[in-house]
Amino acid sequence: MTEVTKNLMLFSGRSNPQLSESIAEILRMELSGVKIKTFANGEIYARYKQSVRGSDLFIVQSVSSCESGSVNDTLMELLVMCDAAKRASAHSITAVITYFGYSRQDKKSAAREPITAKLVADMLSAAGVDRVITVDLHQGQIQGFFDRPVNHLTALPIFANYFGNLNLARVCIVSPDVGRAKAAKKLADIMDCDLAILHKTRPAHNLAEVSNVIGEVAGKTCILNDDMIDTAGSIVAGVQALKLKGAEDVYVCATHGLFSGQAYERLQGIDIEEVVVCDTVPVPPSLQTGKIKVVSVAPLLAQAISNVFNNASVSELFDPDFAL
């Protein structure tokens, strides 16, 4: 009987090829070939350029708007790639979703609303996904929407390393709202510093108002931490509230820099030192100037892919004490 050997194949969708290349370089391998194109009517086509039969496939894709299309395009592209792999008899399919689009609709806040995070989870399962690796979901309970294993990684240690190297004085981690307080507390524990929480309300979508600051921030260097920056409305409101309470310097960090609409202009117009985001979503080089800094999650994702493929523990990557 022929001995069966495991074979790892790494593929990239069109949403974040730079991150995929970085992951491949760390893993000391080449990205495998896949032909992806969009037909004139907007439909997406994908075909693997070599056999994937019996292989363990890892498909890197950010479900977000990018140069190749909208968030809907990148989601459909991922589904098409997974379906093609399933029909080509891949042994396993792992979707490495660096940013999980539609995750903000994770519950019904009003009557007759959808729960799109669950819908996307069902679509991925139907497309043949066996496992999901993702970074900083909007809410951790989204893992429960899947009947497949989900490795939920966090960029908090990456931010802790970045700000630790700046040797800042009197640091206070600030949560933008109560829902983010648990993650902010983890970052504060890693950095061994104080914690504050903003009380935020949303009178409408993409509109935020901060009514109170819980904790002492006067004279401190505040690091406002969130999972994403979309239109930057929450960030602007938060920074203004911290400054009114006497914060000395304000830094902002968020895993996913979506920068929709007038976000970049809003960030340039407020009194902050830096805005640090990860490369889970591609940030155009033209925006990586001035206040915008980008740190990479490629080492974290490469380690996760290696551990999953080799049946090693991934739990150390969930631990806030894990440092790159």
Q: Can you tell me which residue has the tokens 């056999």?
A: 51
200 is catalytic: yes
How many Cβ atoms are within 10 Å of 22's Cβ, its own excluded? Answer: 19
Q: How far apart are CA 197 and CA 181, in angstroms?
A: 7
Q: How far apart are CA 295 and CA 193, in angstroms?
A: 22
Q: How far apart are CA 184 and CA 178, in angstroms?
A: 10
| 8: three-class secondary structure by DSSP | strand
Q: Can you tell me which residue has the tokens 């968020």?
A: 254
Q: Is 116 left (phi over 0), alpha (psi -120 to 50) or beta?
A: alpha
Q: How far apart are CA 154 and CA 142, in angstroms?
A: 14
Q: Are 8 and 29 in contact, with CB atoms under 8 Å apart?
A: yes
Active-site residue, from 86, 118, 185, 200: 200
User: Residue 26 to residues 23, 40, 209, 305, 323: CA-CA distances in angstroms?
Assistant: 5, 36, 42, 11, 16
Nearest to 98 by CA among 147, 151, 167: 151
236, containing H or E segment? helix 233-244
Helix segments in the chain, DSSP class H: 17-26, 71-87, 116-127, 156-164, 181-191, 233-244, 263-268, 298-309
Q: Which two tokens stand for residue 245?
A: 């309470």
Q: Which residues carry out catalysis?
A: 200
